[in-house]
Amino acid sequence: MGLFGGSKSIVGLDIGSSSIKAVELKKSKGEIQVATLGVEPLATDIVVDSMIVDSGSVSGAITKLFNEHKIKSKLVATSVSGHSVIVKKITLPTMSDGELSERINTEAAQHIPFDIADVHIDYQILTEDANEPQMDVLLVAVKKDKILNYTNVLNLSGKTPAVVDIDAFALQNCYEYNYEPSPGTTVALLNLGASVMNINIVKGTTPLFTRDVSVGGNQYTDSLQKELDLSFDDAEALKLGQKVGTVSEDAKLPILQQVTEIIVLEIQKTFDFFRATAAGEHIERIYMAGGSSKVPGLIEALRQEFSMPVEVLNPFQRVSSAAIGGDEALYIEQNPGQLAVAVGLALRSFEDL
């Protein structure tokens, strides 16, 4: 789903609530490679419920990332998610592109719970056969203040927002390029961030159903902090499977399990709703991304609950990271899923992928 194409290098910048991920890609000898990659942690309460609360801290973190990693490009692709983003599939009588662009605001007004004057609208025709009497259109609406919230911070840090995408679509872009899915394969892409989980059910390269849920890895951290009387940093390390002090596995696992059950329930509700609205569609596999995809027991719980293959989405399956060393190589090795959205955004640099 290319919303933007160009040969200039666009840096994929995933601004999450626990860290900012930057990925710059380049094309060399016919393959796409990682040119630079960096992760800058953010303190809590700087990005809350996917809104940037402290613009100064975020723009400072972006500047630091670019300086430390010597990223020269000023062009950035970033993405948004959460309550201010609406993604809906609507069915309309078949019409030309010109007619649709004239009618889209009128149609959108019937499906979007915000005033049309307050949102940016984008759309994509999903139906390929122009002879059908009806066509499916993917409608995307994002509140203007949400986009400004992100673009203002980019401008503050001296960057130019070339693309503002949706997290779920950036994730899909990463999946499409790395996994080259066949047209009939239906999968669920889950991006479990610190405060929001993006769910995108995709058939081939067509998004069928997209939902953002306000649950995330912070719930694991909060529970561990409260139950075991730990600092935030210790709870965070424990959540990602590291050893902390004298905390035993027996003490940790039931706490993680309680939060996993909440997350599994939200996924179950989403899948049930999807099946009710998409007759005959069958999800074959789940791909997990996001920093919290590493939580011990989560992938096993999903396999058990949904009786299907579940794996961490690898953003570097076809994107070569051979030239990356040091701490950056560790990020790729230890938690590749957290870089999926940033890679999906960086792939916007290339036309006709």
Instruction: Examine the pLDDT at 70 and tell me if it is beyond 70.
Output: yes
144: in domain: yes
**138 neighbors 113 (Cβ within 8 angstroms):** no
0.85 exceeded by pTM? yes
Instruction: Examine the pLDDT at 3 and tell me if it is beyond 70.
Output: no
250: in domain: no
* Spatial separation of the C-alpha atoms in residues 348 and 353, rounded to whole Å: 9
With bands split at pLDDT 50, 70 and 90, how would you rate the model's confidence at 353? very low
Residue 26: domain span: 11-219+256-349
The mean pLDDT of the chain is: 92
In the chain, the amino acid numbered 126 is L
* CB-CB neighbours of 51 under 10 Å: 15
Please report the pLDDT score of residue 7 as a whole number.
52
Cα angle 342, 56, 348; round to 5: 20
236: in domain: no
Q: What is the pLDDT of residues 136-184, one digit of tens each?
A: 999 999 999 999 999 999 999 999 999 999 999 999 999 999 999 999 9
CA distances from 125 to 30, 36, 104 (A): 30, 34, 11
With bands split at pLDDT 50, 70 and 90, how would you rate the model's confidence at 44? confident
Q: What is the DSSP string of 227-271?
A: HHT--HHHHHHHHTT---TT--HHHHHHHHHHHHHHHHHHHHHHH
322: in domain: yes
317: in domain: yes
203: in domain: yes
Among 6-10, 37-41, 155-159, which is the least confidently predicted range? 6-10
Q: What is the DSSP letter of 336?
A: G
265: in domain: yes
Q: What is the pLDDT of residues 226-266, one digit of tens each?
A: 999 999 999 999 998 889 888 998 999 999 999 999 999 99
SS3 207: strand
* Spatial separation of the C-alpha atoms in residues 336 and 353, rounded to whole Å: 21
Instruction: Examine the pLDDT at 5 and tell me if it is beyond 80.
Output: no
Q: What is the pLDDT averaged over residues 25-54?
A: 91
Largest CA distance in the chain: 67
Q: How many domains does the chain have?
A: 1
241: in domain: no
Q: What is the pLDDT averaged over residues 103-123?
A: 93
Residues 6 or more apart whose CB falls under 8 angstroms from that of 195 comprise: 17, 47, 48, 49, 50, 214, 216, 217, 218
Q: What is the CATH number of the domain that holds 46?
A: 3.30.420.40
Q: What is the pLDDT of residues 178-236, one digit of tens each?
A: 999 999 999 999 999 999 999 999 999 999 999 999 999 999 999 999 999 999 999 99
